[in-house]
């Protein structure tokens, strides 16, 4: 296993230019800044339509210092498959230098990945393209104005799961994108979180060295969609890990490794109370979410083979 990275290992050179139109406190902005630093400089990015795409490429400006392609909403995985296939054959035919290993990274939001892009993603994973797919998950269609997606968690208010006399926010659980990726028997999947930057570097670096399809699921706090103060992005992200509603881990060669152990969990209520989107929840609903988190923690501990995530601190 590689040496644990620290904040000192982070390259100084910025590869994600400022001046973009992302919100103050945007979690995805932190993610993109560090993902582009962690990636090789000559990697090619294929991006799905979404918040990040529209806020970073307003012609004639761009935040991207990597070669970057956007086609549409549902097809970042298909576009990346095409780029990867082209690089392979052009190298073989001597058009591109054979010694140069240009890496391909696809980036999409939860809507572009869990929902409308799931078919193209499945195709990419199943065909075995040498592509790292990163989904930044802000748990709803934020770019179009906070509509629920397949990644919206139970209880969350969104503009299409509003809180009223009959409805009380989202009533279904979040789709298991990691489980879907693992069902394709891919060599590497991982989760990252903007409050744990060295962990992010370790995982992007590792993914870049592994051949074949990889999926990284990134926790991406959203100020306007989750309804919290812009200064709290990292607090919210850290609290997600401390309560176990988000777990930083990786699955390599069928082995699950929790990269941020949490010996004692905080109650999920402390996470939920930071978000305006959960303000309406009743004690019963919060209890239901706590049970869901407990189950998920037990499942991950079982796969890890030890209690890496501890019990809730009373």
Partner 1 sequence: MGKVVPLSGNTAVAYAVKSADVDVISAYPITPQTTIVEKLAEFIANGELDAEMIHVESEHSALSAAVGASAAGARVYTASSSQGIALMYEIMFISSSLRLPIVMTIAARALSAPINIWNDHSDFMAVSDTGWVMMMAENNQEAHDDVIIAYRIAEDPEVLLPVVTALDGYFMTHTIEPITVVEREEALDYIPKKRTWYSLDPARPITMGALGDPQWYFEFKRQQYEAMKKSREAFNTSVEEFSRRFGRRYDAVELYGDDNPDILIVAMGHVVGNLRAYLDRVRGRGVKAGVLKVKLYRPFPEDLILKHLQGVEMIGVIDRALVPGSTSAGPLYGDIVTTLAKHGFEARAVSFITGLGGRPVTHSHIETVLSKLVDLKGKPVRELPKEPLFIGVRE
Cβ atoms of 217 and 191 closer than 8 Å: yes
- The SS3 call for residue 53 is helix
For residue 222, the minimal CB distance to partner 1 (Å) is: 19
In the complex with partner 1, the residue whose CB is nearer, 68 or 114, is: 68
Please identify which residue in 22, 28, 32, 43 interacts with partner 1, judged by CB under 8 A. Answer: 43
Cβ atoms of 265 and 297 closer than 8 Å: yes
- 19 touching partner 1, by CB under 8 A: no
- 46 touching partner 1, by CB under 8 A: yes
- 42 touching partner 1, by CB under 8 A: yes
Dihedral angle over CA of 263, 228, 29, 271, nearest 10: 10
Please identify which residue in 33, 34, 37, 70 interacts with partner 1, judged by CB under 8 A. Answer: 70
What φ, ψ does residue 212 adopt, rounded to 5°? Answer: 105, -175
In the complex with partner 1, the residue whose CB is nearer, 60 or 179, is: 60
- The SS3 call for residue 192 is strand
What is the per-residue DSSP string for 115-161? Answer: ITTHHHHHHHHHHT-SEEEEEEE-SSBTTTTSB--TTPPTT---SSS
In the complex with partner 1, the residue whose CB is nearer, 80 or 197, is: 80
Which tokens go with 244?
């176990």
Please identify which residue in 57, 160, 205, 257 interacts with partner 1, judged by CB under 8 A. Answer: 57
Which tokens go with 109?
């939001």
- 23 touching partner 1, by CB under 8 A: no
For residue 76, the minimal CB distance to partner 1 (Å) is: 9
- 64 touching partner 1, by CB under 8 A: yes
In the complex with partner 1, the residue whose CB is nearer, 63 or 191, is: 63
How long, in residues, is the chain? 314
Please identify which residue in 22, 26, 32, 75 interacts with partner 1, judged by CB under 8 A. Answer: 75
Cβ atoms of 254 and 184 closer than 8 Å: no
User: Candidates 86-94, 197-205, 223-231, 290-298 — which segment interacts with partner 1 by CB under 8 A?
Assistant: 86-94
- 79 touching partner 1, by CB under 8 A: yes
User: Candidates 39-47, 140-148, 150-158, 179-187 — which segment interacts with partner 1 by CB under 8 A?
Assistant: 39-47
Measured between alpha carbons, how far is residue 307 from residues 88, 258, 290, 294 in Å?
43, 10, 18, 12
Which tokens go with 232?
């709290």
- 147 touching partner 1, by CB under 8 A: no
Measured between alpha carbons, how far is residue 106 from residues 3, 50, 219 in Å?
27, 13, 16
What φ, ψ does residue 245 adopt, rounded to 5°? Answer: -75, -25
- 105 touching partner 1, by CB under 8 A: no
For residue 118, the minimal CB distance to partner 1 (Å) is: 10
Residue ranges in contact with partner 1 by CB under 8 A:
41-44, 46, 53-54, 57-60, 62, 64-72, 74-75, 77-90, 92-93, 95, 102, 119-120, 122-123, 126-127
């Amino acid at each position: 296993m590689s040496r644990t990275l620290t904040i000192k290992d982070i390259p100084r050179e910025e590869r994600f230019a400022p001046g973009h139109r992302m919100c103050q406190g945007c979690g995805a902005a932190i993610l993109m800044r560090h993902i582009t630093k962690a990636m090789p400089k000559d990697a090619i990015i294929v991006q799905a339509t979404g918040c990040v795409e529209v806020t970073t490429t307003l012609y004639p400006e761009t935040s991207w210092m990597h070669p970057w392609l956007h086609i549409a909403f549902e097809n970042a995985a298909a576009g990346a498959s095409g780029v990867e296939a082209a690089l392979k054959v052009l190298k073989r035919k001597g058009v591109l230098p054979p010694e140069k290993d240009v890496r391909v990274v696809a980036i999409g939001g939860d809507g572009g990945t869990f929902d409308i892009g799931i078919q193209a993603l499945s195709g990419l994973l199943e065909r075995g393209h040498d592509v790292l797919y990163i989904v930044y998950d802000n748990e709803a269609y934020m770019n179009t104005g906070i509509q629920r997606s397949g990644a919206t968690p139970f209880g969350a208010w969104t503009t299409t799961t509003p809180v009223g006399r009959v409805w009380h926010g989202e009533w279904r659980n979040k789709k298991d994108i990691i489980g879907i990726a693992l069902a394709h028997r891919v060599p590497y999947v991982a989760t990252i979180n903007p409050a744990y930057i060295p962990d992010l570097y370790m995982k992007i670096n590792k993914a870049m060295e592994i051949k074949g399809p990889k999926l990284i699921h990134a926790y991406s706090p959203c100020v306007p969609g989750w309804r919290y103060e812009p200064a709290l992005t990292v607090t919210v992200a850290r609290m997600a890990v401390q309560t176990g509603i988000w777990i930083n881990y990786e699955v390599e060669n069928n082995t699950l490794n929790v990269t941020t152990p949490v010996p004692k969990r905080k109650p999920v209520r402390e996470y939920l109370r930071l978000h305006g989107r959960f303000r309406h929840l009743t004690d019963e609903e919060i209890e239901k979410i706590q049970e869901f988190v407990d189950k998920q923690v037990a499942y991950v501990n079982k796969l890890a083979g030890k209690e890496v995530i501890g019990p809730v601190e009373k």
